[in-house]
């Protein structure tokens, strides 16, 4: 049973996000560093937002309830990550892994931004995994899958299997970051959306990685984006 059917049966009101594509583009502009989303990409963001608003009435995907704040806080940060970690590179053939995806950030917006990238979302909570699969289906995203398991198990089974690994607001940060490092390929990168206070901790946890300058997240006083790569892969 999909969420709309569940809402009908339980009497839960089904609301629309009702944010127009032009407004979405306006809200995302500060995060895209001069890039622009196509009409198709804006339609996908709108559909994703609508699904997020609906599901969030039934389960706690995000504490943010206002659709426009969802765009800036969740989609905006995620598109910033996409622009910064991918730049103008050709994403074809690259393997991306988003750890602790939750409601899909930043993994799904990165996939929307770079449709040719191969994306896997790790989300151990069953109901959140169901939500992610429904969004993937609704947005018709290909080469995009959800792994309902823990990152530690995948790191044991497939070390070095991702060219891009992303984390945002994950629990057990000190444990998960080394796991992310084990999953990153020799020439791969880790992208972190974290608070300013977590930056120094990240540097201590992965001292053998080369870290870029801290990139401030627009419209935030303390959020930053960090990119790390193995020193051995630096040319």
How far is 164 from 105, CA to CA, in rounded Å?
14
pLDDT greater than 80 at residue 230:
no
Domain ranges (residues) in the chain: 16-233
pLDDT greater than 60 at residue 5:
no
Average pLDDT of 182-205? 94
Pairing of strands 209-211, 223-230: antiparallel
- Virtual CA dihedral for 207, 180, 75, 104, nearest 10 degrees? -160
The pTM of this model reads 0.90
Q: What is the DSSP letter of 75?
A: I
- Per residue in 97-107, pLDDT (tens digit) is 999 999 999 99
**What does the buried/exposed string (b/e) look like for 137-171 if buried means 16 or more CB atoms within 10 Å of the residue's CB?**
eebebeebebbeebbbebbeeeeebbbbbbbbbbe
Report H helices in the chain. Answer: 3-10, 21-28, 39-56, 67-70, 77-86, 107-113, 126-138, 151-157, 173-183, 196-205
| The predicted structure's pLDDT at residue 9 | 34
- Per residue in 212-227, pLDDT (tens digit) is 999 999 999 999 999 9
- Per residue in 28-48, pLDDT (tens digit) is 999 999 999 999 999 999 999
The domain 16-233 having CATH identifier 3.40.50.150: the answer here is yes
Q: How far is CA 17 from the centre of its chain?
A: 20
The CB density around residue 17, as the number of other CB atoms within 10 Å, is 21
Q: Which of 44, 53, 43, 47 is nearest to 15 (CA)?
A: 53
How far is 145 from 122, CA to CA, in rounded Å?
9
Q: Are 165 and 190 in contact (CB under 8 A)?
A: yes
CA atoms lying within 13 Å on the CB side of residue 8: 4
């Amino acid at each position: 049973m999909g969420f709309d059917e569940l809402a009908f049966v339980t009497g839960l009101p089904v609301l629309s996000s009702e944010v127009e594509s032009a407004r979405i583009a306006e809200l995302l502009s500060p995060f895209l560093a001069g890039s622009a989303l196509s009409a198709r990409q804006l339609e996908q963001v709108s559909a994703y937002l609508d699904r997020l608003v609906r599901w969030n009435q039934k389960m706690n995907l995000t504490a943010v309830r206002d659709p426009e704040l969802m765009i800036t806080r969740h989609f905006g940060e995620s598109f910033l990550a996409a622009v910064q970690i991918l730049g103008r590179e050709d994403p074809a053939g690259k393997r991306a892994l988003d750890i602790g995806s939750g409601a899909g950030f930043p993994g799904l917006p990165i996939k929307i931004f770079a449709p040719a990238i191969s994306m896997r979302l790790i989300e151990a909570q069953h109901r959140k995994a169901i939500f992610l699969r429904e969004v993937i289906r609704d947005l018709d995203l290909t080469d995009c899958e959800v792994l309902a398991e823990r990152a530690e198990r995948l790191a044991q089974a497939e070390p070095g299997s991702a060219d891009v690994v992303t984390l945002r607001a994950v629990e057990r940060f000190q444990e998960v970051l080394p796991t992310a490092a084990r999953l990153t390929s020799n020439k791969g990168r880790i992208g972190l959306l974290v608070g300013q206070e977590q930056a120094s901790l990240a540097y201590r946890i992965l001292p053998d990685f080369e870290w870029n300058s801290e990139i401030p997240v627009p419209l935030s006083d303390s959020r930053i984006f960090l990119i790390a790569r193995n020193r051995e892969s630096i040319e």
